[in-house]
Structure 1
Amino acid sequence: MDRILHVKGAANVRDLGGYVSQSGEKSAKVRYQKVIRSAGIQDLTPADQTLLAEYGVTKVVDFRSAKERSAAPDAEILQAENIFLPIFPEQTTTSAAPGTLFEQIQAGLDAATQMRSVYRHFVEEAYSRQAYRRFFEILLANEAPDSGVLFHCTAGKDRTGFGAALVLAGLEVDRQTILDNYLETNPNLTQTLQQMLDQAQKEGAPDYLLAGIKDLMAARADYLGESYAAIQEHYGDVAGFFHEGLGLSHQDLLDFRRLYRE
């Protein structure tokens, strides 16, 4: 089954189903049509909206800031509840919003350094941890077998990428597979990146800005590695992060696996 959902009005729309989960000597597969990651969905066509509704999406979780959400409201998916769940507080010096990050590059900040900081903040920022806990609460409440949750940010890369990594880790998918899923964003955003570069060149952007755009729009192993490093420093391992960082109980994780594994 193809994990990519071929919609015209959104990029990087992927089902997290089909990955093999390993618990001791037992293995299982992540269920299809239960949890879907995506870039922004403000430009969905009517056909896209129908496709996602028929695919079973009943909840949309929007990780963007209020500013991003106001500038580009989500297109509606029939009968789907839309949940606003910003990963960072409005008043913060850390942002994963592409527009804000681009402004910081223009102000002289290094793009890759910014990105590594963002990925540490997913773990170290109490507000962000609470948001990801709420995300798991939404997933745990999604008990109907034919009900799917779509979650997204703007590029579907960072806030969404870390969220996807947590979902797969919670389902006991191995770290290399999680990284592979994360890096699949790159070919899926090729067209988006090229459009941004073309527009920047048209406006006369210098080389350092073009390089910064590439760093901002990339999914890189060292970015996600910063999250893992922060987890190890503060919680020991991912299991510790689930229990101490997100406040998920052993029973929560058992229930999560029951819902999202075959």
Structure 2
Amino acid sequence: MRTSHEIPSAHLPNLRDVGGWPTTSGGVVRPGTLFRSAAPSDPGVPTDPAVTTLGLDVVVDMRTAAEAERRPDHLPRGARLVRVDILASTSGSLASLTGTLPAAIAEGRVSPDAFLADLDARAVMEHTYEQFVTEAPARAGFAEVARSVLSAGGRPTLLHCTAGKDRTGWAVAVLMAAVGATRDAVFEEYLAVSPAVRALFAPDLERAAAVGLDADRLRPLLDVDAAYLKAALDLVDADFGGFDGYLRSGLGLADDELDELRVALVDA
């Protein structure tokens, strides 16, 4: 079974079907069951045919409360919203700012000189992904995401954050690994959102550059990069001895929950 993954939508950027990727058991992640996107904050989302035809049962919003308040979700009829603030108690991370920082600089709410003075953007992003693995509140959040998928009982579920790249990217990687997707598939799926993410952030980068910000120094905060995913996976191996340990000890998922995820998300 195959899927085109990308779902063109006039109102919901970066919308993709996670189904179709191969698993180590010889099956595939089930198409039409798990989706990912940027925030569905456009009022046109509830009536967008690209969205309504998905038949979404659960929408998981992984943004901070402040992000959700600025740009609230607009959901199609019948979809149930679950909020999981991945970064609620995570210190020192810039992941929650990547959807708003360029605009904040362009609007004068953040000083470009002050922000760029000591910025190592790639290091910041790698640290953010490491926090997804090392910080207990973040692990609890990703466990809640997995259980929200289970609560849908195999019905279509959408995961999103702001741009649908970091928190969403790691959540999807975790779920794919949990159901036995190949490592190559996890990386390929993670990187596949890059064109949509770049298009989403392009206007903000232009606005920031217009006020004198070096956009090239800011870009790593907004890009999708295999090194970021690898930073998290390396810590999964170092701290938990691999994904099985991370899922069970790190996220606290029980064997029956992992079995249910495979039943819900895999076509043999």
Distance 1:199 1:101, change over 3 A: closer
CA–CA distance in structure 2, aligned partners of residues 92 and 67 of structure 1? 16
- For the residue of structure 1 that corresponds to 2:35, the secondary structure is strand
After TM superposition, give the deviation of residue 28 of structure 1 in Å: 1.0
> Cα 1:239–1:91, aligned 2, differ >3 Å: closer, same or farther?
closer
Query: With structure 2 as the length reference, what TM-score do the two structures score?
Result: 0.88
Q: Separation in 2 of the partners of 1:54 and 1:100?
A: 30
2:240 is the alignment partner of 1:235: yes
What CA deviation, in whole Å up to 9, does each residue of 1:169-203 have, x standing for no partner?
A: 11111111110111112112232232122111222
Structure 1 contact 21–30 (Cα < 8 Å) conserved = yes
For 2:189 and 2:43, the matched residues in 1 are separated by 23
- Distance (whole Å) between structure 2 residues aligned to residue 69 and residue 254 of structure 1: 32
Q: 2:211 aligns with which of 200, 203, 208?
A: 203
For residues 154 and 15 of structure 1, the distance between their equivalents in structure 2, rounded to whole angstroms, comes to 17
User: Of 6, 14, 17, which residue of structure 2 is paired with 1:15?
Assistant: 17
Distance 1:258 1:2 in 2: 22
Which residue pairs with 1:82 in the alignment?
81
Q: Give, in angstroms, the shift of residue 105 of structure 1.
A: 3.9
Aligned-partner SS, 2:73: coil
Partner of 1:6: 8
1:253 shift after superposition: 1.3
- The one-letter code matched in structure 2 to 1:192 is L
Tell me which amino acid in the other structure corresponds to 2:217.
Answer: G
* CA distance in 2 between partners of 1:62 and 1:238 (Å): 24
**Gapped runs of 5+ residues in structure 2?**
103-109
Name the CA distance, whole Å, in 1 between partners of 2:169 and 2:22: 18
User: What is the CA–CA distance in structure 1 between the aligned matches of 2:242 and 2:169, rounded to whole Å?
Assistant: 19
Letter in structure 1 aligned against 2:124: Q
Q: Deviations over 1:144-187 (max 9, x none)?
A: 5xx21101001110000001101111111111111011111211
Native 8 Å contact 1:183 1:220 kept in 2: yes
1:8 CA displacement: 1.4
CA distance in structure 2 between the partners assigned to 1:65 and 1:80 by the alignment? 20
Q: Quick one: which amino acid aligns to residue 173 of structure 2? A: A
Q: How does 1:89-100 map to 2 (within 5 A)?
A: 89=88, 92-97=91-96, 98=98
Taking a change above 3 Å as real, the CA distance of residues 246 and 156 of structure 1, as seen in their structure-2 partners, is: same
Q: How far did residue 86 of structure 1 move?
A: 0.8
Tell me if the contact between 1:65 and 1:90 (Cα under 8 Å) persists in the aligned partners: no
Equivalent position of 1:255 in the other structure: 260
Given candidates 190, 198, 217, the residue that maps to 1:182 is 190
Per-residue deviation, residues 94-134 of structure 1 (Å, max 9, x unmatched): 24111576668445322111101100000001001001111
Change (3 A) 1:4 1:99: closer
SS class of match (2:36): strand
Residue 69 of structure 2 is matched in structure 1 by 70
Return the match for 1:126 from 128, 136, 145: 136
Task: Return closer, same or farther for 1:151/1:107 CA change in 2, 3 Å cut-off.
Answer: farther
SS at match of 1:60: strand
Deviates more, 1:64-73 or 1:100-109: 100-109
Q: CA separation in 2, counterparts of 1:168 and 1:119?
A: 17
Structure 1 gaps, min length 5: none
More deviation, 83-92/52-61: 83-92
How many residue pairs match? The answer is: 254
- Match of residue 61 from structure 1: 60
Other-structure match for 1:212:
217
2-side partners of 1:90 and 1:167: how far apart? 22
For normalisation by structure 1, the TM-score amounts to: 0.90
- Distance, in Å, in 1 between the alignment partners of 2:207 and 2:70 is 19
Counterpart CA distance in 2 for 1:236 and 1:91 is: 23
- Residue 44 of structure 1, CA deviation: 5.0
Measure the CA separation in 1 of the matches of 2:27 and 2:36.
21
Q: Which amino acid aligns with 2:172?
A: A
